[in-house]
Amino acid sequence: MMVTNNELINTSVDALKRKLISQYVNLMSGILLGYSLVFYFVIKDSFFAACTLAYSVLMFYTFMIIRKSYNIKVLVHLYMTYAPLFAGFIMLDFWRYSAATAMWLLPVPLGAHIFLGKKYVYVYAVYIFLIIVAVSILNRFFTFDYFALNDVNVIVISDTFVGLVNLAVFLVLLYYNEKIMKVKIEENTHNRMGFSYTDNQNKVDVNFTNDAQVGIPAEFIEKDKEISSEDENIDKYIALFEEVKNMVETKAYFKDVDFTISQLSNMLKSNNLYVSKSIRLNGFSNFNHYLNTCRIENVKKLIHENDISRVTLMYIYTESGFSNQSTFNRVFKQIEGITPSEFITMIKTKENS
């Protein structure tokens, strides 16, 4: 099958995300337990101590119940909806003494980036911004004086605790974000179609132009500047490859016999070098290999969907972007390890068994 967005998030990445959730729950349960002790012994407030303790126990116990089977995105959405509300509840009484409690909300956009994607970073950033604004407005018109913090040292202890624990949360999230990004790149490189990177395979004849670097048009310079740093732009190359996939796979440009990397680069307002690199980082040796992989996957799809005794093989490979049978046979054997006829025979055998 051609690669989809869901397939990029493979089982190893899923396992890392589940491990992060488990460690986060354990960490936050401990932090909230510690915060309840700060409330009880330092701030001298038993109500908020009981609230944070109950929240800690509920979060830990609930996760222990569902930990063996849960939907990651549903759980993350649920948590990032109610956790900021609880933080806002705590902030209401602290706000007139210190705004440091707002730090409880800062890890939310990073968590959205790791688990949900870029779009939800903005969604949850706006969400926590609205909570902070709401707390500020409510404190302007109403008095929340359930407890009094007249001792500066108590405020310092509370703010220091909030700052340190949220730093710890940030470090855990950043650590797992780095591991997840590396696994995405490594697994896309090693597990896509079982392709062997040998010199002979890099010389596959595919009837298209090679990945030669061309001059960068002036109107594309600004976009390409974003992908100029080797160390900090893996995310941008992955994003660029999503655009490549949209053009080549979703819009089916792989069916165009004369489709070239230069045409693709112009469509994406990028250049051959960056497009080629985004393709290589996702497990293909070059643009030609990626294009032919899409074509072969379409060939296999058409073989499965049609009665091969009524549809010619020529129709199938030309419909998939190959110009002649000799090239099609050679590329199919190099990518699949068997000839088209052997593949068809294997399919028929399975259907008859």
Tell me how far apart the alpha carbons of residues 16 and 282 are, in angstroms, rounded to a whole number: 19
Tell whether 212 and 287 lie within a shared domain.
yes
Tell whether 80 and 49 lie within a shared domain.
yes
Tell whether 235 and 139 lie within a shared domain.
no
**What band does 71 get if pLDDT is binned at 50, 70 and 90?**
confident
DSSP assignment of 80-123, as one string?
A: HHHHHHHHHHHHHHHTTT-SGGGGGGTHHHHHHHHHT-HHHHHH
- Among 157, 189, 221, the domain boundary falls at 189
**Sign of the alpha-carbon dihedral angle for 153, 158, 162, 168:** positive
| Total domain count, the chain | 2
User: For the chain, what is the mean pLDDT?
Assistant: 83
- Provide the token pair at 176: 């797992």
Tell me how far apart the alpha carbons of residues 166 and 110 are, in angstroms, rounded to a whole number: 12
CA distance to 183, 324, 348, per residue, from 320 (Å): 31, 11, 21
pLDDT at position 67: 85
Tell me how far apart the alpha carbons of residues 124 and 106 are, in angstroms, rounded to a whole number: 10
Give the pLDDT confidence of 290-341 residue by residue, as tens digits.
999 999 999 999 998 888 888 889 999 999 999 999 999 999 999 999 999 9
Give the pLDDT confidence of 269-293 residue by residue, as tens digits.
888 888 999 999 888 999 999 999 9
Tell me how far apart the alpha carbons of residues 286 and 158 are, in angstroms, rounded to a whole number: 55
Tell whether 223 and 349 lie within a shared domain.
yes
Tell whether 169 and 242 lie within a shared domain.
no
- Among 189, 221, 248, the domain boundary falls at 189
- Provide the token pair at 152: 């500066």
Tell whether 234 and 105 lie within a shared domain.
no
**What band does 9 get if pLDDT is binned at 50, 70 and 90?**
very low
Decide: 255 and 321 in contact? Cβ < 8 Å.
yes
pLDDT at position 217: 52
Tell me how far apart the alpha carbons of residues 221 and 239 are, in angstroms, rounded to a whole number: 17
Task: Look at residue 102 and tell me whether its pLDDT is greater than 90.
Answer: yes
pTM of the model: 0.54
158 CB contacts (<8 Å, ≥6 apart)? 38, 42, 43, 94, 98, 100, 149
Give the structural domain span for 97.
5-189
Tell whether 207 and 184 lie within a shared domain.
no
Tell me how far apart the alpha carbons of residues 269 and 219 are, in angstroms, rounded to a whole number: 8
CATH number of the CATH domain containing 257: 1.10.10.60
Tell whether 21 and 161 lie within a shared domain.
yes
- Among 135, 164, 189, the domain boundary falls at 189
Decide: 248 and 291 in contact? Cβ < 8 Å.
yes
Tell whether 129 and 236 lie within a shared domain.
no
**What band does 10 get if pLDDT is binned at 50, 70 and 90?**
very low
Tell me how far apart the alpha carbons of residues 38 and 161 are, in angstroms, rounded to a whole number: 9
pLDDT at position 338: 92
Give phi and psi for 158, each to the nearest 5: -65, -45
260 CB contacts (<8 Å, ≥6 apart)? 208, 209
Tell whether 182 and 206 lie within a shared domain.
no
Tell whether 121 and 231 lie within a shared domain.
no
Tell whether 86 and 173 lie within a shared domain.
yes
